[in-house]
């Protein structure tokens, strides 16, 4: 007796808890980088392109493997790869994905927290006295607005044509929004097969290199999202409910762990290769661009390790790391105004103390922002999705 075919069912959300943990770690790296820019010495090096004294602490931090702990821009590329991966998995879990629901949900999910962070930055500016000469940090001075003008907030809210200086981390939202709008095209292309996914990963550094050489910013940043889409095509992930204990059942043999460790170290190396080469290449922009183009491969490797290597999954799934992942978006959005305000208000204190105070306040505000802004906006986006009109164009069915 033949079996009747089972009705199509929605696939579980393929997303690992460890990827949330990785997002939290990346957010911490961004905060660490910005918090150290309160240092007058480091800010002179970064903002005013002053050379670090050879052999000094700052030279070691900037141009040695220690750079990975403050690789802020590189951490944002990891964010982009994660976004491409997770959004694609959300599309592929449903055979008839509703694009009519997706667009309003995604835009609300991004824009509401962004607008709230701008309001927060306005409040900080209006309530706290800001004197551009109070702090000795060139970074703090650059982002200090002693005379508030509403145009700063309006320009920050315009992700495509505005300037995000009023809350500097908002620069990355431009690419998140653009990718979200282009996602249907990318998903359609990605449905063509695994070979195309491998080709996309291989071509990504070339696209980034062309973007640097010819100053085409979409080519610099969008390939990271495309790599995330390719990763979603190349390997399947378990459901959110999967934890490290489940994944431990498919632990690799000892030599497999060595391979994964090599992949992890190599990926971290590629993330900061351009910084390691910087002292020796001088003004050779071609070498600088070529090494910077490899960041996207390093980010892809880190995401793969976080999703597939059991020891990494275990660490990134620990409760404290998972908490960092939960507040990561909020922390990313609110930390810069807090650090700058702290440096201005507490300018008489040593800069390390300013940094510790600013980081501590950032964590507290990020937790509150998550509870009262990020989580409610997520819930609202789901409600809007349920009430949005149905799309006439279904997503491409998941590949076998």
DSSP 78-135: HHHHHHHHHHHHHHHT-TT-BHHHHHHHHHHHHHHHHHHHHHHHHHHHHHS---TTT-
Nearest-angstrom CA–CA distance, 334 and 346: 18
Structural contact between residues 356 and 81, judged by C-beta atoms closer than 8 angstroms: no
How many angstroms separate the Cα of 279 from the Cα of each of 19, 42, 165, 222, 291? 34, 16, 29, 28, 13
Residue 87 CA, distance from chain mean position:
13
Nearest-angstrom CA–CA distance, 324 and 362: 12
- pLDDT given at position 386: 65
The total of other beta-carbon atoms located within 10 Å of residue 146's CB is: 12
- pLDDT given at position 16: 72
Give the containing element (helix H, strand E) for 280.
helix 254-281
Nearest-angstrom CA–CA distance, 73 and 79: 10
Q: Which residue has the tokens 């709230």?
A: 116
Structural contact between residues 310 and 102, judged by C-beta atoms closer than 8 angstroms: no
Structural contact between residues 40 and 351, judged by C-beta atoms closer than 8 angstroms: yes
- pLDDT given at position 145: 87
Nearest-angstrom CA–CA distance, 73 and 242: 30
pLDDT along the chain (400 residues), means of 10: 40 63 98 98 95 95 98 98 93 82 93 97 86 89 88 91 90 97 90 87 98 97 97 69 46 79 97 94 87 98 94 93 97 98 95 98 99 96 67 35
Structural contact between residues 113 and 333, judged by C-beta atoms closer than 8 angstroms: yes
Which among 172, 196, 209, 144 is positioned nearest to 81, based on CA atoms? 172
Please state the pTM of the whole predicted model.
0.90
- pLDDT given at position 266: 98
- pLDDT given at position 164: 87
- pLDDT given at position 129: 64
Structure tokens at 215: 């100053």
Q: How far apart are the first and last CA of the chain?
A: 26
Which among 372, 362, 367, 364 is positioned nearest to 334, based on CA atoms? 362
Residues in the chain: 400
Buried/exposed 241-250: b ≥16 CB within 10 Å, e otherwise: ebbbeebeee
- pLDDT given at position 237: 54
Q: Helix crossing, 72-92 with 173-190: angle to 10°?
A: 40
Q: According to DSSP H, which parts of 282-350 are helical?
A: 285-293, 295-308, 310-316, 319-345
- pLDDT given at position 379: 94
| DSSP state letters, 148-204 | --HHHHHHHH-TTTS-GGGGGGGGGHHHHHHHHHHHHHHHHHHTT-HHHHHHHHHHH
With the C-alpha atoms ordered 154, 157, 163, 167, is the resulting torsion angle positive or negative? positive
Give 48's DSSP letter.
S
- pLDDT given at position 74: 98
With the C-alpha atoms ordered 84, 89, 95, 98, is the resulting torsion angle positive or negative? negative
- pLDDT given at position 47: 95
- pLDDT given at position 387: 56
- pLDDT given at position 2: 41
98 - beta bridge partners? 394
């Amino acid at each position: 007796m033949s079996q009747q075919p089972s009705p199509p069912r929605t696939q579980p959300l393929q997303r690992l808890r460890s990827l949330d943990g990785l997002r939290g770690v990346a957010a911490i790296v961004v905060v660490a980088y910005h918090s150290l820019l309160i240092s007058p010495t480091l800010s002179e090096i970064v903002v005013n392109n002053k050379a670090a004294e050879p052999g000094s602490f700052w030279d070691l931090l900037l141009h040695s493997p220690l750079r990975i702990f403050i690789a802020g821009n590189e951490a944002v590329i990891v964010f982009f790869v994660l976004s491409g991966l997770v959004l694609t998995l959300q599309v592929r879990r449903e055979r008839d994905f509703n694009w009519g629901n997706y667009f309003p949900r995604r835009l609300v999910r991004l824009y509401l927290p962004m607008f709230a962070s701008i309001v927060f930055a306005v409040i900080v500016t209006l309530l706290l006295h800001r004197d551009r000469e109070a702090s000795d940090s060139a970074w703090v001075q650059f982002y200090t607005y002693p005379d508030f003008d509403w145009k700063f907030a309006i320009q920050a809210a315009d992700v495509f044509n505005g300037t995000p200086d009023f809350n500097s981390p908002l620069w990355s939202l431009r690419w998140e929004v653009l990718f979200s709008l282009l996602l249907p095209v990318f998903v359609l292309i990605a449905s063509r097969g695994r070979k195309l996914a491998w080709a996309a990963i291989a071509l990504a550094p070339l696209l980034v290199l062309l973007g640097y050489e010819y100053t085409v910013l979409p080519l610099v940043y969008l390939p990271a999202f495309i790599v995330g889409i390719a990763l979603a095509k190349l390997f399947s992930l378990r459901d959110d409910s999967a934890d490290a204990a489940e994944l431990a059942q498919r632990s690799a043999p000892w030599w497999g762990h060595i391979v994964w460790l090599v992949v992890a170290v190599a990926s971290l190396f590629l993330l900061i290769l351009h910084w390691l080469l910087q002292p020796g290449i001088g003004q050779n922009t071609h070498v600088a661009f070529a090494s910077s183009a490899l960041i996207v491969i390093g980010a892809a490797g880190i995401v793969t390790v976080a999703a597939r290597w059991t020891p990494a999954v275990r660490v990134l799934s620990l409760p404290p790391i998972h908490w960092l992942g939960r507040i990561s978006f909020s922390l990313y959005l609110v930390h810069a105004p807090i650090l700058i305000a702290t440096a201005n208000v507490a300018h008489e204190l040593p800069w390390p103390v300013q940094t510790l105070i600013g980081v501590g306040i950032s964590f507290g505000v990020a937790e509150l922002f998550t509870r009262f802004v990020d989580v409610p906006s997520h819930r609202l986006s789901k409600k809007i999705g349920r009430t949005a009109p149905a799309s006439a164009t279904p997503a491409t069915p998941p590949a076998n």
